[in-house]
A and B are shown apart, each in its own frame.
Chain A
Amino acid sequence: MPPTPATPRNKMESRDLTLRYGSKVAIKQVSLAIPEHKVTALIGPSGCGKSTFLRSLNRMNDLIAGANHEGTVFLDGRSIHDRTLDVVDLRRRVGMVFQKSNPFPKSIFENVAYGLRVGGLKDKAKLAARVEKSLRGAALWDEVKDRLDESALGLSGGQQQRLCIARALAVEPEVLLMDEPASALDPIATAKIEELIHELKATYTIAIVTHNMQQAARVSDRTAFFYMGELVECGPTERIFTNPQEKRTEDYVTGKFG
């Protein structure tokens, strides 16, 4: 028997997390670990709570009026709902890429530099270096290096989404949350994003919500299946897709509903 590899550390972990919008329960008592330097995919039909769960990992749900929670989420063993924890710091450590690419109506350079500037970095040489590093990290540098001063809105959809990834990478987060990052893109742009996710997991811990099961199978190490606000099953991606233990998971991954 080969020696069992050391279990990866859990970068983030939710414990009995329940989230309501007003009195409507969006997720129910979810306990899920996000292991370090792995890609964790969250799958499930629309409205199952997977996006809500993802957004609760960097407290983006705080922005929605009437949202309230029970239970908590740990980041490196510390509760993100701790009173002494600043939500601004949390969001710098846990970055997010949204479903619809949402570059600011600013130049390419200023988009990537945004997080650094609001963090107080003023040194021009350092800014330029970090912008280049982030754009390279998002595999966009070669395409935009000659037009950093042009508007980000002139980029194609796929480029815009990689720009948003670069923008998130620039603040050097530890965790990257991606909410269906490729759902609005064509297959070629999608392939680029997936390739990127593969490269990024060496440096970052990634959680990705996706509607596309092939994508979950391609990019993730672990998969969590959500249904009606509950976490039904979570395990290594291969097992979830080939040998799920729950009937509902099997029905979903084989396409019987969803």
Chain B
Amino acid sequence: MKHATRRVVGLSLVSLTGLAAFVIVAMLALILLDVVKGGASHISWKFLTESPTDGMMGGGIFPALFGTAALTLLMTLAVMPVGVLTAVYLHEYAPPDGKLARAVRVAVANLAGVPSIVFGLFGLGFFILFVGKGLDRALGYEELHWAQPGILWASLTLAVLTLPVVIVSTEEALRAVPLDHRTASLALGATQSQTLARVVLPGALPGILTGAVLAISRGAGEVAPILFTGAAYFLPDLPSSLNSQFMHLGYHTYVLATQSPDVEATRPLLYATVMVLLLLTFALNLVAVLIRTRTRRKAASGH
């Protein structure tokens, strides 16, 4: 009897956990299937390389594609140095129980929990109305130049949003570098900074790139933070300078889904846009994963 009960409990646990795992896969498969079914036929070279036309009921998505890529790139350039340096300070230099380190950790944890729309408002309030206005005043612009939504401010807002991801994963990567390697380096007469540059950071590089992967895939898909800070409803021209507005795939999706006068006509466009957004995110991830595997293999083979 007891034996039988144990078997039942065991079996039901296996099926329960298996079912939960299956639901995840099924969800992803359903989403992908739906998106591909609705969008694949509409994707063409023309769709990818042309601007929207006919009140967004025709044409392509090139400005949105370009805007998303540029935005993500700028965000990565902004977030990686700050995030990595912060993590290096926290893990390598700050006294473990120091007040500053603790304050930074609390800030990072809380930053990660802030809803993304709040980051958008923060970007508007801080970057555009405070920093931008200050710049305009200091540089003597009569009209609004920096104090308006633009790609720089949007990417900086996204950088703040993804900062916790980069800090946490970099710190994790630094922690994973064996203590042995540090002591060996110091025992050979290397200074702490040489040890950091030659042993610790190269050893942590795969983990740091993982942080970049996570930050990019998070940042590329966010729409709320860029609503007030730079994304444009419709803008056939590509952003030409750091204070230009830009189109964005995520925002474009929202616009197509909710603002179109003819829902039926827009539907294939909408599906295709979503599919491109997904493909772009996957591609970015794939590139970063490839870089990571390569560095890891390089590190292991020692070149």
Contact = CB atoms under 8 A, between A and B. Distances in A.
B173 to A, nearest CB: 14
Contacts of B181: 102, 104-105
B251 to A, nearest CB: 44
Given A63-B183, A104-B199, A150 B302 contact: yes
B189 A89 contact: yes
Interface stretch (B55-63, B101-109, B190-198): B190-198
A258 B120 CA distance: 67
Given A105-B299, A107-B302, A150-B301, A98 B184 contact: yes
A246 to B, nearest CB: 33
A199 interface: no
Interface in B112-126: none
Nearest to A88: B189
A60 B301 CA distance: 29
Interface stretch (A2-10, A163-171, A181-189, A237-245): A163-171
Contacts of B183: 60, 63, 98, 102
A118 B190 contact: yes
A14 interface: no
B270 to A, nearest CB: 48
Interface of B: 96, 178, 180-181, 183-191, 194, 198-199, 203, 299-303
27 contacts: A91-B186, A91-B188, A91-B189, A92-B189, A96-B187, A98-B183, A102-B181, A104-B184, A104-B185, A105-B181, A105-B203, A105-B300, A105-B302, A114-B190, A115-B188, A115-B190, A118-B188, A149-B302, A149-B303, A150-B301, A151-B301, A151-B302, A153-B300, A164-B184, A167-B184, A168-B188, A171-B189
Given A63-B186, A168-B187, 11 more contacts: A58-B187, A63-B183, A95-B188, A102-B178, A114-B188, A114-B198, A150-B301, A151-B302, A167-B184, A168-B188, A171-B188
